Amino acid sequence: MAQLVAAYAVPHTPSFIADAARLGPSFETVQYFSRIRAHLAAAKADVVVMVQNDHFNTFFFNNWPTFAIGNADQTTGPSDQTPGMPIYHLAIQSELARHIHQVCSENDFDFASSEDLEVDHGVLVPLHFLTPAMEKAIVPVFVNCLVPPLPSAHRCHRLGAVIGSAIRGWQKSVRVAFLASGSLSLEIGGPLIEPGKTFGVPDKSWAAWIVDCLASGKHDDIVAAATPERMARAGNVGGELLNIITLLGAIENAIPDILINQPELGNAFAAWGFEDGRWS
Protein backbone atom coordinates (compact mmCIF):
# COMPACT_ATOMS: atom_id res chain seq x y z
CA MET A 1 0.00 0.00 0.00
CA ALA A 2 1.11 3.56 -0.67
CA GLN A 3 1.96 5.73 2.33
CA LEU A 4 1.11 9.42 2.72
CA VAL A 5 4.27 10.46 4.54
CA ALA A 6 4.25 14.26 4.60
CA ALA A 7 2.29 17.37 3.67
CA TYR A 8 3.39 20.88 2.74
CA ALA A 9 1.85 24.30 2.17
CA VAL A 10 4.03 26.86 0.39
CA PRO A 11 3.58 29.95 -1.79
CA HIS A 12 4.20 30.05 -5.53
CA THR A 13 5.05 33.74 -5.99
CA PRO A 14 6.55 33.92 -9.53
CA SER A 15 9.09 36.65 -8.70
CA PHE A 16 10.84 34.35 -6.20
CA ILE A 17 12.96 32.72 -8.92
CA ALA A 18 14.57 35.91 -10.18
CA ASP A 19 14.84 37.32 -6.65
CA ALA A 20 16.64 34.19 -5.46
CA ALA A 21 19.08 34.36 -8.39
CA ARG A 22 19.78 38.01 -7.62
CA LEU A 23 20.00 37.83 -3.82
CA GLY A 24 21.43 34.36 -3.32
CA PRO A 25 21.25 32.15 -0.21
CA SER A 26 20.66 35.11 2.11
CA PHE A 27 17.25 35.76 0.56
CA GLU A 28 14.74 34.84 3.27
CA THR A 29 12.50 32.95 0.86
CA VAL A 30 15.43 30.71 -0.11
CA GLN A 31 16.01 30.02 3.58
CA TYR A 32 12.33 29.23 4.15
CA PHE A 33 12.19 26.85 1.20
CA SER A 34 15.44 25.25 2.38
CA ARG A 35 13.79 24.25 5.64
CA ILE A 36 10.86 22.73 3.79
CA ARG A 37 13.23 21.01 1.36
CA ALA A 38 15.11 19.36 4.24
CA HIS A 39 11.81 18.11 5.68
CA LEU A 40 10.81 16.69 2.29
CA ALA A 41 14.19 14.98 1.91
CA ALA A 42 13.80 13.38 5.34
CA ALA A 43 10.33 12.12 4.37
CA LYS A 44 11.87 10.20 1.45
CA ALA A 45 8.83 10.73 -0.75
CA ASP A 46 8.85 9.13 -4.19
CA VAL A 47 5.88 11.09 -5.57
CA VAL A 48 4.47 14.55 -4.86
CA VAL A 49 0.72 15.07 -5.30
CA MET A 50 0.32 18.80 -5.86
CA VAL A 51 -2.77 20.98 -5.45
CA GLN A 52 -2.68 24.44 -6.96
CA ASN A 53 -4.66 26.77 -9.19
CA ASP A 54 -3.93 27.54 -12.80
CA HIS A 55 -3.42 31.17 -13.85
CA PHE A 56 -5.12 31.05 -17.29
CA ASN A 57 -2.18 29.14 -18.78
CA THR A 58 -3.15 25.47 -18.66
CA PHE A 59 -6.86 26.34 -18.92
CA PHE A 60 -8.78 29.39 -20.15
CA PHE A 61 -12.33 30.73 -20.24
CA ASN A 62 -13.28 28.38 -23.09
CA ASN A 63 -12.60 25.48 -20.69
CA TRP A 64 -12.31 26.48 -17.04
CA PRO A 65 -12.88 23.47 -14.76
CA THR A 66 -13.68 23.62 -11.06
CA PHE A 67 -11.41 20.62 -10.45
CA ALA A 68 -8.94 19.05 -12.86
CA ILE A 69 -6.12 16.53 -12.85
CA GLY A 70 -3.20 15.93 -15.18
CA ASN A 71 -2.86 12.26 -16.04
CA ALA A 72 -0.32 12.46 -18.84
CA ASP A 73 3.00 10.66 -18.46
CA GLN A 74 4.93 13.92 -18.48
CA THR A 75 4.57 17.67 -18.59
CA THR A 76 6.73 20.73 -19.22
CA GLY A 77 6.82 24.35 -18.15
CA PRO A 78 6.70 27.11 -17.27
CA SER A 79 3.89 27.92 -19.66
CA ASP A 80 3.82 31.54 -18.48
CA GLN A 81 7.43 32.72 -18.94
CA THR A 82 8.10 32.96 -15.20
CA PRO A 83 11.07 35.36 -14.89
CA GLY A 84 14.37 33.55 -14.45
CA MET A 85 12.92 30.04 -14.51
CA PRO A 86 14.47 27.46 -16.85
CA ILE A 87 12.35 25.06 -18.88
CA TYR A 88 11.60 21.95 -16.86
CA HIS A 89 10.45 18.50 -17.96
CA LEU A 90 8.62 16.56 -15.27
CA ALA A 91 7.36 13.01 -14.99
CA ILE A 92 3.74 12.57 -13.95
CA GLN A 93 2.85 9.44 -12.01
CA SER A 94 -0.05 8.81 -14.36
CA GLU A 95 -1.09 5.52 -12.73
CA LEU A 96 -1.59 7.28 -9.39
CA ALA A 97 -3.28 10.20 -11.16
CA ARG A 98 -5.81 7.88 -12.75
CA HIS A 99 -6.37 6.11 -9.44
CA ILE A 100 -7.04 9.44 -7.68
CA HIS A 101 -9.34 10.47 -10.54
CA GLN A 102 -11.31 7.21 -10.21
CA VAL A 103 -11.67 7.47 -6.43
CA CYS A 104 -12.73 11.11 -6.66
CA SER A 105 -15.35 10.20 -9.26
CA GLU A 106 -16.68 7.46 -6.99
CA ASN A 107 -17.03 10.10 -4.26
CA ASP A 108 -19.02 12.55 -6.41
CA PHE A 109 -16.17 14.81 -7.51
CA ASP A 110 -16.42 15.36 -11.26
CA PHE A 111 -12.95 16.18 -12.55
CA ALA A 112 -11.74 17.43 -15.87
CA SER A 113 -8.58 15.65 -16.96
CA SER A 114 -5.80 16.23 -19.45
CA GLU A 115 -3.31 13.93 -21.11
CA ASP A 116 -1.56 16.84 -22.84
CA LEU A 117 -0.71 19.75 -20.58
CA GLU A 118 1.91 22.30 -19.67
CA VAL A 119 2.14 23.83 -16.20
CA ASP A 120 2.88 27.32 -14.92
CA HIS A 121 4.48 28.83 -11.83
CA GLY A 122 1.81 27.41 -9.53
CA VAL A 123 3.41 24.01 -9.99
CA LEU A 124 6.98 24.95 -10.79
CA VAL A 125 7.97 27.60 -8.25
CA PRO A 126 7.67 25.16 -5.31
CA LEU A 127 9.45 22.40 -7.23
CA HIS A 128 12.23 24.75 -8.36
CA PHE A 129 13.18 25.24 -4.71
CA LEU A 130 12.20 21.88 -3.24
CA THR A 131 13.20 19.37 -5.94
CA PRO A 132 15.45 21.33 -8.33
CA ALA A 133 16.65 18.15 -10.07
CA MET A 134 12.97 17.38 -10.81
CA GLU A 135 13.67 13.78 -9.88
CA LYS A 136 10.30 13.13 -8.23
CA ALA A 137 7.21 12.31 -10.23
CA ILE A 138 4.21 14.52 -9.55
CA VAL A 139 0.43 14.37 -9.81
CA PRO A 140 -0.94 17.85 -10.62
CA VAL A 141 -4.41 18.61 -9.25
CA PHE A 142 -6.02 21.96 -10.04
CA VAL A 143 -8.66 23.81 -8.01
CA ASN A 144 -10.48 26.86 -9.33
CA CYS A 145 -9.47 29.63 -6.95
CA LEU A 146 -9.93 32.62 -9.27
CA VAL A 147 -13.11 32.60 -11.37
CA PRO A 148 -16.54 32.76 -9.66
CA PRO A 149 -18.29 30.62 -8.72
CA LEU A 150 -15.55 29.12 -6.58
CA PRO A 151 -16.01 25.72 -4.97
CA SER A 152 -16.89 26.00 -1.30
CA ALA A 153 -14.23 25.61 1.36
CA HIS A 154 -16.20 22.67 2.81
CA ARG A 155 -16.17 20.93 -0.58
CA CYS A 156 -12.43 21.50 -1.04
CA HIS A 157 -11.77 20.19 2.47
CA ARG A 158 -13.74 17.03 1.69
CA LEU A 159 -11.88 16.70 -1.61
CA GLY A 160 -8.60 16.67 0.31
CA ALA A 161 -9.89 13.88 2.52
CA VAL A 162 -10.86 11.86 -0.55
CA ILE A 163 -7.47 12.42 -2.18
CA GLY A 164 -5.73 11.38 1.03
CA SER A 165 -7.85 8.23 1.15
CA ALA A 166 -7.08 7.52 -2.50
CA ILE A 167 -3.36 7.82 -1.89
CA ARG A 168 -3.48 5.46 1.09
CA GLY A 169 -5.59 3.00 -0.88
CA TRP A 170 -3.26 2.78 -3.87
CA GLN A 171 -1.90 -0.74 -4.20
CA LYS A 172 1.73 0.26 -4.68
CA SER A 173 4.63 0.41 -2.23
CA VAL A 174 5.29 4.12 -2.74
CA ARG A 175 5.90 7.04 -0.39
CA VAL A 176 3.78 10.07 -1.28
CA ALA A 177 3.95 13.70 -0.18
CA PHE A 178 0.94 16.02 -0.55
CA LEU A 179 1.77 19.66 -1.39
CA ALA A 180 -0.47 22.69 -1.79
CA SER A 181 0.70 26.06 -3.07
CA GLY A 182 -0.83 29.51 -2.90
CA SER A 183 -1.06 32.77 -0.98
CA LEU A 184 -3.25 33.70 1.98
CA SER A 185 -3.83 37.35 1.06
CA LEU A 186 -2.83 38.82 -2.28
CA GLU A 187 -4.12 41.38 -4.76
CA ILE A 188 -2.55 41.63 -8.22
CA GLY A 189 -3.23 44.70 -10.33
CA GLY A 190 -6.54 45.45 -8.62
CA PRO A 191 -8.15 48.21 -6.58
CA LEU A 192 -7.00 46.86 -3.19
CA ILE A 193 -3.34 47.79 -3.73
CA GLU A 194 -1.52 51.08 -3.30
CA PRO A 195 -1.30 53.37 -6.34
CA GLY A 196 1.79 52.65 -8.40
CA LYS A 197 2.16 49.10 -7.07
CA THR A 198 1.60 45.93 -9.08
CA PHE A 199 0.59 43.79 -6.10
CA GLY A 200 -0.14 44.07 -2.41
CA VAL A 201 -1.37 42.29 0.71
CA PRO A 202 -4.76 43.82 1.49
CA ASP A 203 -5.57 41.82 4.63
CA LYS A 204 -2.54 40.95 6.74
CA SER A 205 -4.75 40.34 9.77
CA TRP A 206 -6.64 37.62 7.89
CA ALA A 207 -3.37 35.97 6.84
CA ALA A 208 -2.06 36.16 10.42
CA TRP A 209 -5.27 34.60 11.74
CA ILE A 210 -4.93 31.70 9.29
CA VAL A 211 -1.34 31.13 10.42
CA ASP A 212 -2.50 31.10 14.05
CA CYS A 213 -5.17 28.52 13.21
CA LEU A 214 -2.61 26.34 11.44
CA ALA A 215 -0.33 26.56 14.46
CA SER A 216 -3.05 25.25 16.75
CA GLY A 217 -4.61 22.74 14.35
CA LYS A 218 -7.90 24.68 14.11
CA HIS A 219 -8.54 23.66 10.52
CA ASP A 220 -12.31 23.62 10.94
CA ASP A 221 -12.23 27.31 11.88
CA ILE A 222 -10.41 28.15 8.64
CA VAL A 223 -12.91 26.13 6.60
CA ALA A 224 -15.89 27.79 8.29
CA ALA A 225 -14.52 31.30 7.78
CA ALA A 226 -13.30 30.93 4.19
CA THR A 227 -16.37 32.07 2.31
CA PRO A 228 -15.90 33.51 -1.19
CA GLU A 229 -16.76 36.96 0.15
CA ARG A 230 -14.23 36.74 2.97
CA MET A 231 -11.46 35.49 0.71
CA ALA A 232 -12.22 38.25 -1.82
CA ARG A 233 -11.58 40.85 0.88
CA ALA A 234 -8.10 39.31 1.18
CA GLY A 235 -7.44 40.07 -2.49
CA ASN A 236 -8.35 38.97 -5.97
CA VAL A 237 -6.02 35.99 -5.46
CA GLY A 238 -7.24 35.35 -1.92
CA GLY A 239 -9.11 32.29 -3.14
CA GLU A 240 -5.79 30.43 -3.34
CA LEU A 241 -6.47 29.56 0.28
CA LEU A 242 -8.71 26.82 -1.15
CA ASN A 243 -5.61 24.93 -2.27
CA ILE A 244 -4.37 24.83 1.31
CA ILE A 245 -7.82 23.94 2.63
CA THR A 246 -7.84 20.98 0.23
CA LEU A 247 -4.56 19.83 1.73
CA LEU A 248 -5.90 20.22 5.27
CA GLY A 249 -8.65 17.75 4.48
CA ALA A 250 -6.04 15.01 4.20
CA ILE A 251 -4.20 15.62 7.47
CA GLU A 252 -6.91 15.80 10.14
CA ASN A 253 -6.16 18.61 12.63
CA ALA A 254 -2.42 18.04 12.72
CA ILE A 255 0.00 20.57 14.20
CA PRO A 256 2.78 21.47 11.74
CA ASP A 257 6.40 20.51 12.31
CA ILE A 258 7.41 23.75 10.59
CA LEU A 259 5.35 26.93 10.31
CA ILE A 260 6.82 30.14 8.91
CA ASN A 261 4.89 33.37 8.47
CA GLN A 262 5.82 35.74 5.62
CA PRO A 263 3.38 38.57 6.41
CA GLU A 264 4.81 41.19 4.07
CA LEU A 265 3.87 38.96 1.13
CA GLY A 266 0.72 37.36 2.56
CA ASN A 267 2.37 33.94 2.54
CA ALA A 268 3.11 31.05 4.87
CA PHE A 269 5.28 27.93 4.72
CA ALA A 270 4.23 24.80 6.59
CA ALA A 271 5.29 21.15 6.84
CA TRP A 272 3.64 18.15 8.49
CA GLY A 273 5.17 14.71 8.94
CA PHE A 274 3.45 11.37 9.43
CA GLU A 275 5.13 8.99 11.88
CA ASP A 276 4.08 6.02 14.01
CA GLY A 277 0.60 5.97 12.53
CA ARG A 278 -0.19 9.62 13.20
CA TRP A 279 0.53 13.11 12.01
CA SER A 280 3.32 14.61 14.10
List pLDDT tens digits, range 12-35.
999 999 999 999 999 999 999 999
Our count of domains for the chain comes to 1
Contact status, residue 51 vs residue 246, Cβ threshold 8 Å = yes
Q: How confident is the model at residue 275 (pLDDT cuts 50, 70, 90)?
A: confident
Nearest to 270 by CA among 222, 230, 205: 222
- In this prediction, residues 208-229 reach a mean pLDDT of 98
The verdict on pTM exceeding 0.85 is yes
pLDDT score for 195 = 84
Beta strand extents in the chain (DSSP E only): 3-10, 47-52, 67-70, 74-77, 88-91, 112-114, 137-143, 175-181, 187-188, 199-200, 258-262, 267-275, 278-279
pLDDT beyond 80 at 280: no
pLDDT in tens, 180-201: 999 999 999 888 888 878 889 9
Question: In which element (H, E) is residue 149 found?
Answer: none
Local confidence band at 276 (pLDDT 50, 70, 90 cut-offs): low
Say which CATH number the domain at 76 has.
Answer: 3.40.830.10
Range of the domain at 112: 3-279
